[in-house]
Structure 1
Amino acid sequence: MLRIHFGWRDVQNVRLAQQPDPLWELMCAVCRWQTGQGPLEFGHWRRETAGRLTRDPRGARALDMLRAFVPTAGYIPDLLTPPVTGEGLEAGLESVRTTPRGRLESELTRLSEATPPPGGTRGPRVPATASATLVTALLRDSFHALLGPYWQQVRSSVGDDVAVRARSVLGGGTAALLDSLGPFARWNPPHLEVDYPTDRELHLEGRGLTLVPSYFCWRRPTALADPGLDPVLVYPIARQPLDIVRSGEQRLEQLLGRTRSAVLTDVASHRTRTTTEVAHTLGLAPASASYQVGVLRGAGLIVSHREGKHVAHSATPLAFGLLAGNGQTFRRGSKAWSLP
């Protein structure tokens, strides 16, 4: 168990990342790639990615080398997940690229000396010539190989989780947010008791805690190894298998186009949605999101009305009928539209 100790300043400084962190997702995805865990949730992703890697030797080579830095259990160098959550892939890669040589050597030495878990095997050896530039290149190529084709779906799923957590904050403050992390964590003031593979004590000491929702995190949260770094807790979200999401969206894309189908799916997945929320979840410019919503409204798939200072959008029955072909069930009131 990981026991995180809170002071009153820490409770005031609990933060929730608003979107997935690319490098944390990559670390978790590399682990899922190697272990075969979650056959329902990740099986199609693994099979589809394996086929794509046969046509992408650069990505396959990068992923094979990156496995040396990301064991399936035990120590993973903290430098691979720098504290730039919310700033995107390139900001994270730049932070890795500028890692001081001393820190790089220290963390890679610790990695090479780590004992494999019981019943496990040590992965590929860390290259003797490893540099921050090499690691950065491996991360970039592996991200595009493992996560690039799925990033929109990952963002959407994380956005849904963030919306749920945000509502808990509005209803009950920080305590409700920490309570919402069950069943893999329990808020027992002044401690957050987290399901964790080893026993650890983490004292926040006024630094607060950043919560990072993750699609590829599996079964239990993960955290940085060095207690001296800014505290982060990465936790698994509720997810829908990517094969269901992608197969449905591919059919919609043929009819509406990729961006427009994503906007319609996002709006239909919520009671109401503002243009700002759509843009944030899908990573669109506000003007682009507004344009796509306008086109869908003109086609009779979205209706809009004002709620206070905001204009809220919701899907029409025609839209739900169209979306029923993607294998999901969308409910409005007492009626549900789903695949027959």
Structure 2
Amino acid sequence: MAPGPDALWELLLSLYRLRRPEGKDVFGPWKRAIRPRVPASARLLTDLIPPAGYAPDFLTPATQTGTLDAGLEALRSTPSTRLAADLSELAARHPGRPTPGWTRALAAGRPEIVGQIAGTAATYFTTCLDPYWPRIRELIDRDRAQLNRQITDGIDHDFLTTVHPSARWSFPVLEMDYPDDHDIALDGRGLVLQPSYFCWGTPITLLDPTLPPVLVYPINHKTPLAVSQNNPA
């Protein structure tokens, strides 16, 4: 179980929510509040994150803490081979979508471009997510506590239905509704369960099965976000 919200997963998923109609009762107030404040530089992020479907795995690197600083440090350290592979996958999965010229420099691992992406992510987070972060953390901590109680009480595999109603065991395989056919063999690796505020509908994961396994799932949304005092992300 992840220790709390993951800043870069929430950032990525918030950009989906910002451009999609689902969950308007939950996300509508946040969208109306932040839309006029979205920095122009966020175009760098939306060039990499389509309104739906695959976005590059390197945008959500695994870290021990899930904090913004840890995520940005890992992002800046992405190997050029990973950048090139993910951008090639992005082009293949979204044929006909315009590809900005600067992505060639990103695919080559140019550190100034990678740094610009990280800086843009930091600016977007500070403007659009940080004012809401204490509430996001509170809601995710509540979800984690509920799941941990079920695990502690020894409810066998039934606790996974708390992660998502579509979760089911076909031993030794965990099956779940997903937009595409996608298999991940753990091969002895643990699976990190990552609750998310901005995840909606079905859980999601990384495309590359060689990366640390993670399952990002939506918490039980009941109320819209409200601005609260800033806490460190």
Give me the TM-score of the superposition, normalised by structure 2. Answer: 0.88
Instruction: Point out where structure 2 has 5 or more consecutive residues left out of the alignment.
Output: 107-112
Q: Residues 239 and 190 from structure 1, CA distance in 2 versus in 1: closer, same or farther, beyond 3 angstroms?
A: same
Task: Report the Cα distance in structure 2 between the residues aligned to 1:36 and 1:20, rounded to whole angstroms.
Answer: 23
Taking a change above 3 Å as real, the CA distance of residues 124 and 63 of structure 1, as seen in their structure-2 partners, is: farther
Cα separation, 1, equivalents of 2:94 and 2:45: 18
Give the alignment's Cα RMSD to 1 decimal.
Answer: 2.3
Q: Tell me which residue corresponds to 2:201.
A: 219
Structure 1: unaligned runs, 5 residues or longer: 1-15, 54-58, 250-257, 260-281, 285-340
Partner residue in 1 for 2:34:
49
Show the counterpart of 2:175. 193
39-48 or 170-179: bigger deviation: 170-179
Q: 1: distance between equivalents of 2:155 and 2:61? A: 28
Alignment counterpart, residue 158 of structure 1, candidates 140, 143, 151 = 140
Counterpart for residue 10 of structure 2: 25
1:84 to 2:69 alignment: no
How far did residue 34 of structure 1 move?
Answer: 1.2
Superposition map of 1:6-21 within 5 A:
16-21=1-6
Shift of 1:71: 1.3
Change (3 A) 1:155 1:126: farther
CA contact (8 A) 1:31 1:72 kept: yes
Larger Rg: 1
Paired residues of 1:211 and 1:235 also in contact (CA < 8 A)? yes
84, 92, 97: which one aligns with 1:122: 97
Q: TM-score, normalised by structure 1?
A: 0.61
- 2:219 alignment partner, one of 217, 231, 237: 237
Give deviations 1:296-332, integer Å, cap 9, x for gaps. xxxxxxxxxxxxxxxxxxxxxxxxxxxxxxxxxxxxx
Comparing both chains, which one has the higher relative contact order based on Cα–Cα distances under 8 Å and sequence gaps of 6 or more? 2
- Is residue 75–residue 114 contact of structure 1 (8 Å, CA) maintained in 2? yes
Residue 293 of structure 1 corresponds to none
- Specify which structure has the higher proportion of strand: 1
> For residues 92 and 126 of structure 1, what CA distance do their matches in structure 2 show?
25
